[in-house]
């Protein structure tokens, strides 16, 4: 019997990847994907805990699902609800207490055990009443010794021209504001052979571009047959895969940018000229309080080294304003750094205290009004830079991998090598191909253009980025690179 599954994904690209994996794991139980919660027998929320608003959204969605479940019960039908992701990991027991609608809670390291949990929940019927003590059958937030990656089924729900592939997970950096080391656990790198096999599978399913994912992806150190393999060597190896046109990776930590990573940007044609390198602040005092382990000058020097290797590289970043103790002078140092570097794209956030992180206990809070004002000033500057950057492409040509259908009929959307979204009128048969696009206009978040030669001649060829010279999360436009 087929049953319908709807997964709502919040947050970063790794959650998008994990959602596809969860769909894979549940397929053997007879679950097929539905387009909406209304059409589903099982709804999974794959949650994000990085900032306050991200987890608030989960509880309001659970309220809606509780109403839907009651309505169905009145009609003699059932609805099963699961919570996965980083809110599940951080607040699993609390979720079961606060939201009796929830049948199962599963943390990011236990997804390979999800099918067993769902099967058990199906056998036991819907969630029990309020105040039920959480038990192992409904809550799995372990960090099991066996790797969830080993249990991937051969079939995959992840289809499409641009696919994600997790190569590294977890973080040992412990930036003082960040929940990731607690929700995703310690750094773990998948073996290169496993990654290559999955890459081959994704290419077989139609992927032309792979984005290698990790919270701290440039700390990647996989166990290869002849010793440890770093990110640069892994990229070189994957770039040889037949049928793969493009590689990307995210997110990098400035302290872990290594010579082989930089060299890959010079030497590997398939590696796209974009580097997401979160800096968070331009003040050394704040960087130290954040436990970022580098100074503003070290960041400048790293960007300069990358640009020497690949002069046209697009650099994007993440920023936090209003970190505890941040003064006006600290904030001015951030603006100065932004002016100097010139970012192609960036995400910026007000500091949000995360329970259990060291910074949440600091007493020197920045006033909300000051946070708002600083965020506005920073975003004004970043948008101005982004617009100027995009305008530099007007009149030139960019290679675009058409990987989404546009809102208008006859329109396709894709990414330039530099991560810009590019809108273009194109026939549907060009979907999934790399085509040269003549850029006609630029906005802060996208370019618009027309096919060169109707795209016909160069379809499916690997094309070098042209002489001209980034929203990373597909689920939540305000997400940011999320780590690194
Ligand atoms: N408050 C505000 N922003 C945060 N980020 C991570 N933790 C917090 C927090 N507690 C931001 C960082 C990170 C991005 C993904 O989210 O800028 O790079
Ligand atoms: Fe790790 Fe990035 Fe979080 Fe720092 S911000 S702890 S590097 S995931």
Reported as a single tens digit per residue, the pLDDT across 33-64 is 999 999 999 999 999 999 988 778 899 999 99
What count of Cα atoms within 13 Å lies in the side-chain half-sphere of residue 59? Answer: 14
Decide if 158 is inside a domain: yes
Nearest protein CA to atom 14 of ligand 1, as residue: 482
Decide if 479 is inside a domain: no
Query: How far, in whole angstroms, is CA 473 from its chain's centroid?
Result: 5
Number of domains in the chain: 3
Q: How far is the CA of 215 from the centre of ligand 2 (A)?
A: 7
Residue 178 Cβ inside 6 Å of ligand 2? The answer reads yes
Strands 246-250 and 227-230: unpaired
Which one of 181, 183, 323 would you pick to mutate in the ligand 2 pocket, going by the greatest count of ligand atoms within 8 A of its CB? Answer: 181
Decide if 423 is inside a domain: yes
Q: How far is the CA of 484 from the centre of ligand 1 (A)?
A: 10
So what's the pLDDT on residue 454? 61
Q: How far is the CA of 176 from the centre of ligand 2 (A)?
A: 9
Q: Are residues 383 and 401 in the same domain?
A: no
Q: Which is nearest to 58 in space by CA: 43, 71, 69, 70? A: 43
Q: How far is the CA of 70 from the centre of ligand 2 (A)?
A: 40
Which domain-ending residue is among 359, 390, 421? 390
Q: How far is the CA of 278 from the centre of ligand 2 (A)?
A: 10
User: Which ligand has the minimum distance to the alpha carbon of residue 324?
Assistant: 1
Q: Are residues 66 and 157 in the same domain?
A: no
Convert the pLDDT of each residue in 74-120 to its tens digit.
Answer: 999 999 999 999 999 999 989 999 899 999 999 999 998 999 999 98
Q: How far is the CA of 175 from the centre of ligand 2 (A)?
A: 5
Give 460's contacts (C-beta < 8 A, 6+ positions apart). Answer: 433, 434
Check residues 179 and 468 and name the one with the higher pLDDT: 179
Which domain-ending residue is among 390, 405, 427? 390
User: Which ligand has the minimum distance to the alpha carbon of residue 214?
Assistant: 2
- 251: preceding bond cis by omega (within 30 degrees): yes
Pocket of ligand 1 (CB under 6 A): 50-51, 177-178, 278, 280, 318, 320, 349, 351-352, 354, 480-483
Decide if 482 is inside a domain: no
CATH number at residue 48: 3.40.50.12160
- Dihedral angle over CA of 117, 121, 122, 128, nearest 10: -170
Which domain-ending residue is among 367, 390, 413? 390
Give 199's contacts (C-beta < 8 A, 6+ positions apart). Answer: 165, 210, 238, 241, 244
So what's the pLDDT on residue 39? 93
Which one of 170, 172, 174, 175 would you pick to mutate in the ligand 2 pocket, going by the greatest count of ligand atoms within 8 A of its CB? Answer: 175
Residue 171 Cβ inside 6 Å of ligand 2? The answer reads yes
Q: How confident is the model at residue 481 (pLDDT cuts 50, 70, 90)?
A: low
Check residues 166 and 131 and name the one with the higher pLDDT: 166
Decide if 34 is inside a domain: yes
Q: Is the backbone of residue 45 left (phi > 0), alpha (psi -120 to 50) or beta?
A: beta
Q: How far is the CA of 476 from the centre of ligand 1 (A)?
A: 14
Residue 178 Cα distances to 47, 320, 347, 474, angstroms: 16, 11, 16, 22
Q: What are phi and psi of 189, to 5 degrees?
A: -110, 130
Residue 222 Cβ inside 6 Å of ligand 2? The answer reads no
User: Which ligand has the minimum distance to the alpha carbon of residue 354?
Assistant: 1
Q: Residues 273-306, buried b or exposed e (16+ Cβ, 10 A)? A: bbbbbbbbbbbbbbbebbebebebebbeebbeeb
Q: How confident is the model at residue 127 (pLDDT cuts 50, 70, 90)?
A: very low
What is the extent of the structural domain holding 437? 397-473
pLDDT at 469 over 80: no
So what's the pLDDT on residue 436? 97
Are the beta carbons of 400 and 450 closer than 8 angstroms?
A: no
What is the number of the ligand 2 atom nearest to the C-alpha of 184?
Answer: 8
Are the beta carbons of 220 and 261 closer than 8 angstroms?
A: no
Averaged pLDDT, 11-18 = 93
User: Which ligand has the minimum distance to the alpha carbon of residue 321?
Assistant: 1
């Amino acid at each position: 019997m087929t049953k319908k599954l709807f997964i709502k994904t919040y947050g970063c690209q790794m959650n998008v990847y994990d959602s596809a994996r969860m769909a894979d794991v549940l397929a053997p139980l007879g679950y097929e994907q539905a387009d909406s919660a209304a059409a589903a027998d099982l709804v999974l929320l794959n949650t994000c805990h990085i900032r306050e608003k991200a987890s608030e959204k989960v509880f309001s969605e659970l309220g809606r699902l509780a109403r839907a479940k009651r309505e169905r019960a009145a009609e003699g039908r059932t609805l099963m609800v699961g919570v996965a992701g980083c809110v599940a990991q951080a607040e699993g027991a609390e979720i079961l207490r606060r939201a009796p609608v929830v049948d199962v809670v599963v943390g990011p390291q236990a997804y390979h055990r999800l099918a067993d949990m769902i099967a058990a929940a199906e056998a036991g019927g819907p969630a029990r009443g309020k105040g039920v003590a959480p038990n192992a059958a409904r809550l799995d937030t372990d960090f099991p010794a066996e790797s969830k990656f080993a249990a991937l089924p051969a079939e995959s729900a992840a289809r499409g021209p641009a696919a994600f592939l997790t190569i590294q997970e977890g973080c040992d950096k412990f930036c003082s504001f960040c929940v990731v080391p607690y929700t995703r656990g310690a750094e773990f790198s998948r073996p290169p052979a496993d990654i290559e096999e999955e890459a081959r599978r994704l290419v077989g399913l139609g992927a032309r571009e792979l984005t290698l994912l990790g919270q701290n992806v440039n700390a990647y150190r996989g166990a290869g047959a002849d010793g440890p393999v770093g990110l640069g060597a892994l990229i070189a190896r994957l770039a040889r895969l037949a049928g793969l046109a493009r590689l990307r990776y995210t997110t990098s930590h400035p302290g872990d940018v290594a010579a082989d990573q930089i060299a890959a940007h010079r030497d590997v044609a398939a590696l796209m000229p974009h580097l997401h390198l979160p800096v968070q602040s331009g003040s050394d005092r704040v960087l130290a309080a954040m436990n970022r382990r580098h100074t503003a000058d070290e960041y400048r020097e790293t960007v300069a080294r990358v640009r020497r290797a690949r002069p046209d590289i697009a650099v994007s970043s993440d920023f936090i304003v209003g970190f505890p103790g941040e003064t006006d002078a600290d904030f001015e140092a951030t603006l100065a750094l932004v002016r100097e570097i010139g970012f192609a794209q960036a995400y910026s956030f007000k500091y949000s205290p995360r329970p259990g992180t060291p910074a949440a206990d600091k007493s020197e809070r920045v006033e909300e009004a000051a946070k708002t004002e600083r965020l506005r000033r920073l975003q004004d500057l970043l948008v101005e830079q982004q617009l100027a950057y995009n305008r530099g492409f007007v009149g030139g040509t960019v290679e675009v991998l058409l990987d989404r259908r546009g809102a208008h009929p006859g329109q396709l959307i894709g990414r330039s090598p530099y991560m810009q979204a590019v809108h273009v009128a194109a026939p549907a048969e060009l979907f999934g191909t790399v085509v040269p696009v003549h850029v006609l206009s630029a906005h802060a978040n996208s370019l618009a253009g027309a096919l060169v030669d109707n795209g016909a001649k160069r379809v499916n060829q690997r094309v070098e980025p042209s002489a001209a010279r980034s929203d990373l999360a597909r689920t939540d436009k305000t997400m940011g690179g999320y780590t690194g």
